Amino acid sequence: MFEKTEKWSGEEGKKIFPFSEDYRQFLSKVKTEREFVKEGIVLAEKNGFRAAETFKQYQAGDKIYYVNRNKNLVLAIIGQEDLEQGIHYVVSHIDSPRLDLKANPLYEELDLVYMRTHYYGGIKKYQWASIPLALHGVVALESGEVVEISLGEEEEEPVFTIPDLLPHLAGKYQGERKTGEVIQGEELQILVGSIPTKVENKEVKDKIKQNILDILKRNYGMEEEDFISAELELVPAGKARDIGFDKSMIGAYGQDDRVCAYTSLRAILEITNIPVKTAVCFLADKEEIGSTGSTGLQSDFLNYFTGDMLEKTKGKFHEMMLRRTLWNSRALSSDVNVAMDPIFKGVHDAQNAAKVGSGVVLTKYTGARGKSGTNDADAEYVAYIRKILNEGEVCWQTGMLGKVDEGGGGTVAMFLAHLGINTIDIGPGLLAMHSPFEVASKFDIYHTYKAYKVFYQAK
């Protein structure tokens, strides 16, 4: 386990705060998977990457990016070695727990208009009540036009909220509920308006709802039916913030897993030499709900872009080339772990728990209760990762996701390993994971970036 004695000081320590400030500003701007892909493409092109379709063939040193349905982004630098000798993948996810609007969300009752939601990913539902929420996403109109929406992030813009029940009346109604049911799924409804339309129309029964529809039509050109073909997400409003008198931490929504996504993206953007192995940064979607669908890691997109790279570097392709490439490859499942909180340390095995400010966390296996649903990294591969991290002077630690019978969780590692890729989990530890305001150490963030950069360039 490598840990520098000076930690925050020295020449290396001076880089932590400027790097973290860039990350903090990025987090404030990017709150959905589509927004991450859009901003990622801008950064990629500024740093010499070109869309895959603009190449007829690839050669060592070429910088390429692939986009899958505006929810996956892949950046690759073709290395010196033949791809069939293996690729170095760093795979993170850019989706986060949130509230999605239902297909038919709007209704009016008691002179108020609400929108119904369905939560996405594992959340403590009560944490989402009585906080300011912003609306992000897209609406695909019947005409084919796709309208982008971002409302609630600027000071002059309205926000939305889920009004909680006052404590004076909550004793029986909520007090006897279990923690996970204090706010129930169907009670996650967003307050959106209270002024009736001024247009006289006897056929309009819900006049306040009609006023909201008029506003949506005026601002975004959408009808009520267009909600059916929309992807609209409610996320915590506001900017990422420094935490503590010493400003040593960052608090923000979506650090699971955008802290890994940003650091892996930044690391590959800053590679100036031609790596020995082809380096790939893969920003995936749908991890929080099982990596399903055409943009989740269980899709064939990794096989697709890897096969395309093989064909464009070698001038031919067959399935065995792909299988050989994957089997010889290495991957980092770049996802967060939990950092031990002294207030709740009873859920941890302290000897095997990550600490805030002790570097990036290396996790041999995740899963729950008997390692169910895990990739258990090979000992030889763990030793290889230890070696390159130590040689690269990366501060790192090991950590598990709580006590054996306490709970647990999973990552994309098992899906990468299923393809034959040597895989291990590595990312920073968080406090308050899956809450609307997650906390990460700036020291850990910087050494996560260092770890990924070392891996991209390793032999």
pLDDT at residue 198, rounded to an integer: 87
Task: Assess whether pLDDT exceeds 70 at residue 2.
Answer: no
Dump the DSSP string for 384-404: HHHHHHHHTT--EEE--SS-T
- CA 373 – CA 388 distance, rounded (Å): 27
User: What residues does CATH 2.30.250.10 cover in the chain?
Assistant: 99-236
**How confident is residue 125, by pLDDT bands cut at 50, 70 and 90?**
very high
Span 343-347, average pLDDT: 93
Contact indicator for 77, 275 with CB cutoff of 8 Å: yes
Span 176-195, average pLDDT: 96
pLDDT at residue 5, rounded to an integer: 55
Span 19-48, average pLDDT: 98
Reading the block at residue 390, the tokens are: 């130590």
Helices (H), 143-290: 170-173, 207-220, 255-269
Task: Assess whether pLDDT exceeds 60 at residue 200.
Answer: yes
**How confident is residue 406, by pLDDT bands cut at 50, 70 and 90?**
confident
- CA 132 – CA 345 distance, rounded (Å): 30
Taking residue 12's Cβ as centre, other Cβ atoms within 10 Å add up to: 16
Amino acid in position 266: R
* Distances, alpha carbon 181 to alpha carbons 122, 123, 164, 173, in Å: 13, 12, 13, 11
Span 174-179, average pLDDT: 92
Q: Compute φ and ψ for 64, nearest 5 degrees.
A: -130, 150
pLDDT at residue 369, rounded to an integer: 78
Q: Which residues contact 397 (CB under 8 A, 6 or more apart)?
A: 1, 3, 354, 355, 358, 359, 360, 361, 362
Q: Is the four-CA dihedral 206, 209, 215, 216 of positive or negative sign?
A: negative
Q: What's the number of CA atoms in the CB half-sphere (13 Å) around residue 104? A: 0
| Pairing of the two strands 422-427 and 429-430 | unpaired
Contact indicator for 17, 220 with CB cutoff of 8 Å: no
Dump the DSSP string for 63-87: EEEEEETTTEEEEEE--SS-GGG-E
Q: What are the CB-based long-range contacts (under 8 Å, 24+) for 384-387? A: 384/330, 385/332, 385/424, 385/426, 385/455, 386/362
- CA 134 – CA 152 distance, rounded (Å): 4
pLDDT at residue 11, rounded to an integer: 84
- CA 360 – CA 389 distance, rounded (Å): 10
Span 299-323, average pLDDT: 97
- CA 443 – CA 456 distance, rounded (Å): 20
Taking residue 9's Cβ as centre, other Cβ atoms within 10 Å add up to: 10
pLDDT at residue 6, rounded to an integer: 66
- CA 249 – CA 23 distance, rounded (Å): 12
User: What is 10-96+253-456's CATH superfamily?
Assistant: Zn peptidases (3.40.630.10)
Q: Is 364 left (phi over 0), alpha (psi -120 to 50) or beta?
A: alpha
Amino acid in position 348: H
Reading the block at residue 6, the tokens are: 């000076």
CATH fold of 99-236: Aminopeptidase i, Domain 2 (2.30.250)
Q: Compute φ and ψ for 221, nearest 5 degrees.
A: 70, 20
pLDDT at residue 4, rounded to an integer: 56
Q: Is 302 helix (H, G, I), strand (E, B) or coil?
A: helix
Taking residue 263's Cβ as centre, other Cβ atoms within 10 Å add up to: 28
Span 342-362, average pLDDT: 95
What is the tens place of the pLDDT at every residue in 77-100? 999 999 999 999 999 999 999 999
User: What residues does CATH 3.40.630.10 cover in the chain?
Assistant: 10-96+253-456
Q: Is 368 helix (H, G, I), strand (E, B) or coil?
A: strand
- CA 42 – CA 65 distance, rounded (Å): 11
Span 114-131, average pLDDT: 98
Reading the block at residue 47, the tokens are: 């740093």
